[in-house]
Structure 1
């Protein structure tokens, strides 16, 4: 029969072994590269651990460790992609734009845990809070945007505004996460008829813009041509001006020269001017120099002599050749 003392001894040894085992197993822990941890002493957070490797602590239940991931998470708002299949949630994505149109908008939010203590203990379900904050931010920004911006070129601005508003809400809720990126996935109209009508309006607007651009191009072309013609006319006018000024200066110089000759020999100069004027006015007229002595008119046929001089010169040249 086993004695009571032996029973107590065996029980004590078992308890001691259990305590030593728990102590040995709970005084160390490892933190992976992708993890971060917090140390709790009797349920109170003492410090955060971000360095990977082997670490030691007081045994349980004095101290315990809570680990969370350092990886980047993706919150899929309005849809869920799992095993290559996409499940949509239209009730989440349907919202009204600032110009009172209905659109369906979904997005992806990239986020990570930056403060494990706040993430674990400041809120019961921080991911749900993040989801609700995302919904509120997206609806607020879409509600202040026009449908054209949401469907076409304004998506980048909407993404930036959503990220800014969502970041401010997350900081206000103090749940220990940071927003890294916000990306709109799809923004579309609720049904085919509305999509077709919007497409027609968009096509008409693009056609109008094309016509305006073509008209502006034609206007610029004609303006350039007119400017070129203007410069050409100005250049020709400047050239004509310079030519006339030079001719005027030449005429003044000739007049001054004639005037000097006239002052020296007025009679001869006067007769010369008369003869030159007659040659200009009547280029084919015969000019005679005559002297009237009262009875017989004598004249000197200058034109005949001028005609005979070339003939004489030609005959002299033929004689010399012989």
Structure 2
């Protein structure tokens, strides 16, 4: 018959082995590169661990480890995408713009855990708080924006405003999260008739903008052409001005030379000027030398002599 002492001994050994096994298994832990951890001593947070690798701690139940991911998470607001299938929740995304129009706005928020202790213990469900804060931020910004901005060119500004407001709310709630990016996935009108009407208005506005840009382009082109013609006329006038000034300076110089000769020999200069003027006015006229009574004193064939003079010079040079 087994003695009571033997039973106690075996039981003690079993408990010891179990205790040693628990101690051996709970005195170390590993942290992956994509994880971060916090150490709890009797349920109280002691420190955060972010360095990957093997770490040691006191055995359970003295100390325990809680791990959370370092990765970036995406919050899908207004839709859900699983296995390549998209499911919309229009009742959650229906909101009123600042000019009292109804739109459906879907949003994606990228976030990550920056403080594991606060994420784990400052709130019961931090992701639900993030979802509610996202809804409040988006509705607030859309509610102060015009429908044209929400549907067309104002999306970037709306995204920036939503991110700023959401970040301030998350910081105020102090739940250990950080907002990385906000992206509007889709902003549309609630039904086909409204969408068609708005599309027509948008197309008309774009056509008007196109026509206005074409008109501005034409105006600029004509202005450039007119400016070019203006510059050409100015350059031409300046050229003519310079030419006339040079001609005037030349005429003045010729006049000064003639005047100097006239002062030395006024009669001869006067006769020479008369003859030169006749030559210019009547280049083909025959010149006769007359006496003072008006009778022809003698016919003097000047034109034939002018034509024969070069020939005589050539003959004289041959005789030499």
Q: TM-score range by the shorter chain?
A: 0.7 to 0.9
Partners of 1:89 and 1:242 lie apart in 2 by: 82
Contact 2:287 2:302 in 1 (8 A): no
Which ranges of structure 1 fall in alignment gaps of 5 or more residues?
none
Query: Which residue is 1:26 aligned to?
Result: 26
More displaced, 63-72 or 9-18?
9-18
Partners of 1:30 and 1:11 lie apart in 2 by: 33
Contact 2:113 2:119 in 1 (8 A): yes
Q: Is the aligned partner of 1:79 residue 2:76?
A: no
Write the mapping of 1:301-320 to structure 2, written as runs, cut at 5 A: 301-302=299-300, 304-307=301-304, 310=307
Write the mapping of 1:17-56 to structure 2, written as runs, cut at 5 A: 17-56=17-56
Contact 1:35 1:69 in 2 (8 A): yes
Deviation string 1:64-101 (CA, Å, 9 cap, x unpaired) is 22222222211111011112221111112111222222
More displaced, 243-252 or 16-25?
16-25
Shift of the alpha carbon at 1:11?
A: 4.7
Write the mapping of 1:1-322 to structure 2, written as runs, cut at 5 A: 8-9=8-9, 11-283=11-283, 285-291=285-291, 297-302=295-300, 304-307=301-304, 310=307
Partners of 1:298 and 1:52 lie apart in 2 by: 134
More displaced, 16-25 or 250-259?
16-25
Contact 1:81 1:87 in 2 (8 A): yes
Partners of 1:251 and 1:22 lie apart in 2 by: 123
Contact 1:38 1:116 in 2 (8 A): yes
The number of aligned residues is 316
Deviation string 1:254-291 (CA, Å, 9 cap, x unpaired) is 33333233333333333443444445445555432222
Give structure 1 regions of 4+ aligned residues with deviation exceeding 6 angstroms. Answer: 311-317
Partners of 1:239 and 1:17 lie apart in 2 by: 114
CA shift in 2, pair 1:70/1:292, >3 Å: closer
TM-score of the two chains, using structure 1 as the length reference: 0.85
Which ranges of structure 2 fall in alignment gaps of 5 or more residues?
none
Deviation string 1:25-63 (CA, Å, 9 cap, x unpaired) is 333333333322222222211122223333333333322
- CA RMSD, aligned part only? 2.9
Contact 1:292 1:298 in 2 (8 A): no
CA shift in 2, pair 1:251/1:21, >3 Å: closer
Deviation string 1:135-193 (CA, Å, 9 cap, x unpaired) is 11111222222222222222222222222221111111110111122111111111111
Partners of 1:27 and 1:316 lie apart in 2 by: 135
CA shift in 2, pair 1:313/1:202, >3 Å: same
Partners of 1:24 and 1:276 lie apart in 2 by: 134
Partners of 2:312 and 2:21 lie apart in 1 by: 151
Contact 2:113 2:176 in 1 (8 A): yes
- Where 2:182 maps in the other structure, the secondary structure is strand
Partners of 1:134 and 1:26 lie apart in 2 by: 40
CA shift in 2, pair 1:176/1:316, >3 Å: closer
Contact 2:103 2:189 in 1 (8 A): yes
Partners of 1:42 and 1:175 lie apart in 2 by: 22
CA shift in 2, pair 1:118/1:181, >3 Å: same
Partners of 1:38 and 1:116 lie apart in 2 by: 7
TM-score of the two chains, using structure 2 as the length reference: 0.86
